[in-house]
Amino acid sequence: MDHMINVVQPSLGERELAAVREVFESNWVGRGPRTGAFEEAFARHLGVGREHVTATNSCSSATFIAFELLGVGPGDEVVLPTVSFVAAGNAIAGRGARPVFCDVDEATLNPTVADVEAVLTERTKAVVVLHYGGHPGAVAEIAELCRDRGIHLVEDAALAIASTVHGRACGTFGDMGLWSFDHAKIVVTVDGGMLYVRDPELAARAPKIAYLGLEQRAPGRSGSTGHFHSGYDQALRSRTRWWDYDVVSFTGRSTTNDVLSAIGLVQLSRLEEFVARRREVARAYDEGLADVAGLRLPPPLPAGHTSSYFMYWVQFENGIRDQVARDLFERGIYTTFRYPLMHQVGAYGSDAVLPRAEAAADRTLLLPIHQSLSDADVDRVITEVRACTAARLASATC
């Protein structure tokens, strides 16, 4: 068998290693100048002011910070598509609020405005959406609905780091946006996340919440305790007892460090090149799989939308998805499905019936897509998907 083709894969190399070496040699590995530079570069990438973003140790912890900032609590409902990542469900339920799951479009796996609107009540405090596979979906329209109803919108933009609608970055349509740099995303810092907060006052609280709720009397952003840094020199000079602090929230520690941020700076500079290759892979699948009987491809992007091409999903008729996935695995092609429906996870106590999401979850399969796929890999995936789909549709073994 040829090598196993992965669904996702990071691209980390010599440039990232050199950046880490520089951090080691600087003798400042905690949160410091590189993290500041990473936040600044990310804010520029989004087209927002630097004071609106905070780097975190994961997107999941950024989600918990978002709900702390919004004051979500007992008696509140938070709406999210059933096709969501578990962090959002936990952040809602963990604060004593009720997650309310909505249905999604069967082809895009993104919620429509009507799907969101159908489950809003007077207790709805916030809506969380993600951008399935990197396609923006109806985020602009959902943002407008939320604004009209006075409901907060949080965008889990973990899959949409380079996705835009009419030039505006996904993650900046609502009140808050979240990104992930974990090992399976496009920009990888090994582990890490970013939080965008539109409201300037809440944005200023975010770094404190991310660092044990500490409000330092000494100047500088949170996370700078315990180690003197020349950047704070001038301001410290006019202070006494710079070690004193207040506590503004009973939260954990979600800060990142300069080792990971140095990796992030290099990765962010490569994002455009990563997305360009992913777009080529998606186009090759679009062409190579267009005429396969029993197979449905992702709908084309609406005018004005761009994607990060985080996932490439296909949908099978006749209940053959699981068999084809097994066949492909045996032929060295790893596939998967994200995200298992949250309304069917018992712990959340939902009794919702969401027929379109349920149908999509039985049919959808994610094919390998990442910037390291060679043309030969892509051809192999196309050939095998064609062969296995045809065989299973004819009730034969591939």
Ligand X SMILES: *Cc1c(COP(=O)(O)O)cnc(C)c1O
Query: Which residues does the annotation mark as catalytic?
Result: 185
Q: What is the nearest approach in angstroms of ligand X to the Cβ of residue 163?
A: 12
Looking at beta carbons only, is 89 or 207 nearer to ligand X? 89
The residue type of 397 is: T
Of all helices (H) and strands (E), which one includes residue 383?
A: helix 375-393
Assign 68 to helix, strand or coil: helix
β-bridge pairing 77-81 and 124-130: parallel
| Smaller CB separation from ligand X, 310 or 316 | 310
Minimum CB–partner distance for residue 131 and ligand X (Å): 8
Helix or strand (DSSP H, E) at 91: helix 86-93
Nearest Cα to Cα of residue 146 among 166, 173, 167? 173
In the complex, what is the shortest distance from the CB of residue 202 to ligand X, in angstroms, rounded to a whole number? 20
Helix (H) or strand (E) holding 169: strand 168-169
Closer Cβ to ligand X, 60 or 124, answer by number: 60
How far apart CA 80 and CA 90 sit, in angstroms, is 12
Dig out the tokens for 281 from the structure: 């892979």
Report the residue number, 28 or 42, with the smaller CB distance to ligand X.
Answer: 42
Instruction: For residue 228, count other CB atoms closer than 10 A to its CB.
Output: 10
Asked if 342 and 99 touch (Cβ cutoff 8 Å), the reply is yes
Q: Shortest gap between Cβ of 61 and ligand X (angstroms)?
A: 7
Of 57 and 323, nearer to ligand X (C-beta) is 57
Minimum Å distance from CB 273 to ligand X? 21
**To which residue do tokens 């449905």 refer?**
296
Which residue, 66, 94, 79, is CA-closest to 179?
66
Residue type present at position 330: E
109: left (phi over 0), alpha (psi -120 to 50) or beta: left
User: For the purposes of burial, counting CB atoms within 10 Å of the CB of 298, is it exposed (0-12), middle (13-18) or buried (19 or more)?
Assistant: buried
- Cα–Cα–Cα angle for 94, 161, 26, nearest 5°? 90
Q: How far is the CB of 348 from ligand X (least distance, A)?
A: 16
Q: Site residues (CB under 6 A) for ligand X? A: 58-60, 85, 87, 130, 156, 158-159, 180, 182, 193
Q: CB-wise, 311 or 320, nearer to ligand X?
A: 311
Distance CA 392, CA 397 (A): 6
